[in-house]
Structure 1
Amino acid sequence: METADLLERCYPGRRAELKRDIFRKALGLFNEQGIEATTIEMIRAECDTSVGAIYHHFGNKEGLVAALFFTALDDQARLRDSYLAEAQTTQAGVHALVHSYVDWVDSQPEWARFQYHARFAVTKGPFQEELATRNRTRNKQLLEWLGAHGNELGRFPAELIPSMIVGQADSYCRAWLSGRVKGSPKAYRDMLAQAAWRSLCPTEPQ
């Protein structure tokens, strides 16, 4: 249901039904078989549609991988921005960024797993320029928040701050998705958020 819910959010309506089905089946195959090993023919067989229909929507396999990757990023950013909009202080903003990251991975593990695996292929492939353009648009609210709170976080380079905020959460989420740890990331969201804040403002009272 979680995958279906995400796709319904991003591609609602009956006209997008085939697109959602291709996405759903491709996501499963990419995670089970690996991106390199999965072919368009395998996806076609799972979807019971034509190769032409897949090419019509996505162009080729690289286009399908990129479209899935962009969909995951957009949904993740949507949750992040909704959390960040509620933050009234710098500390609350840091917590919001960690909480949204953890909550999205915890609720969308198959999408998060694919996102990690596909990142290199998309950032180094034919869609890297589109990714850069989309990132600038997608991260507008985040960049505005960082700019507004930069004085409180000013002892760190601006480009380093997002990694300092979500780095520990990202590390734990990757370990959880790979099965190296068992505890749900959501169970540790507050500890991860507090650790992120301490790393940025170690002298502030908690």
Structure 2
Amino acid sequence: MSTADILERNYPGRRAQLKRDILLGALACFNQHGLELTTIEIIKLHCDTSVGNIYHHFGSKEGLAAALFFSALDDQARLLGEYLQKADTAQEGVAAIVGSYVDWVTEQPELARFQYQARAAIAKGPQADELVAKNRSRNKNIFSWWSAPERHAHIKHIPADLLPSLLIGQAENYCRAWLSGRIPTSPKKYRAYLTQAAWLSLAITPDVK
């Protein structure tokens, strides 16, 4: 699925074509110049549109960045949901969580690259509450899947705020390095390693005094 397809799912129809075009152009500008250095004027020139159109549809550069960020976040959640629906055991659930993350990043590198650089700005910006709500909804769905007794037994000893880092932390670290060009090998090649590492991390039982 292309970035255009993802945006069309969130902004469907012919009347939203200009909005999708602006989002695609803004994505290219953000990834080329960085979020802070990209201006509305740069986006306007890249998209061959007017400043008025950009402000009409998104209100501000921050609103434009948030629209892109949430489109990416929603598509990640969609793919995770599809993978979890096919998982029955706890180990299959770990594979679904890690696998959906790795697959999404490798299939949507431009959106993923933008998402990494924009996360802190969105968390501190006017859309911070919306981000919190979306993250809470996603985490609720994940914990709901884990609530079955035979699955929950594998994670009940792990603090809830630590669990996402154990499951995704290693995959996220590798994906960031790959997207930055620091390492050449696609995360998909190491998906089995990253999945196994996440599974083994659930067996951690620290001696807490």
TM value normalised by structure 2: 0.92
1:13-162 alignment to 2 at 5 Å? Answer: 13-148=13-148, 149-162=151-164
Letter in structure 2 aligned against 1:165: L
Letter in structure 1 aligned against 2:172: D
Q: Percent identity?
A: 62
Runs of 4+ in 1 over 6 A off after TM superposition: none
Q: Which moved more, 1:47-56 or 1:162-171?
A: 47-56
User: Hey, what's the Cα distance between the residues in 1 that align with 2:63 and 2:133?
Assistant: 16
Q: Could you report, residue by residue, the CA deviation over 1:102-155 in whole angstroms, capped at 9, with x for unpaired residues?
A: 000000000000000001101111211121122223443213123333322122
Offset at 1:184?
0.4
Contact kept in structure 1, 2:154 and 2:202, CA below 8 Å: no
Q: Does 1:197 align with 2:182?
A: no
Contact kept in structure 2, 1:25 and 1:46, CA below 8 Å: yes
> Cα RMSD between the aligned structures?
1.6
Contact kept in structure 2, 1:19 and 1:57, CA below 8 Å: yes
Q: Which moved more, 1:67-76 or 1:194-203?
A: 194-203
Q: When the two structures are aligned, how many residues end up with a matched partner? A: 203
Offset at 1:16?
1.4
The residue number in structure 1 matching 2:186 is 184
User: Hey, what's the Cα distance between the residues in 1 that align with 2:57 and 2:138?
Assistant: 22
Contact kept in structure 2, 1:150 and 1:158, CA below 8 Å: no
Letter in structure 2 aligned against 1:130: E
User: Hey, what's the Cα distance between the residues in 2 that align with 1:157 and 1:17?
Assistant: 44
Contact kept in structure 2, 1:94 and 1:165, CA below 8 Å: yes
User: Hey, what's the Cα distance between the residues in 2 that align with 1:15 and 1:80?
Assistant: 30
Q: Does 1:7 align with 2:7?
A: yes
5+ residue gaps, structure 1: none
Contact kept in structure 2, 1:10 and 1:75, CA below 8 Å: no
User: Hey, what's the Cα distance between the residues in 1 that align with 2:65 and 2:146?
Assistant: 30
Letter in structure 1 aligned against 2:189: A
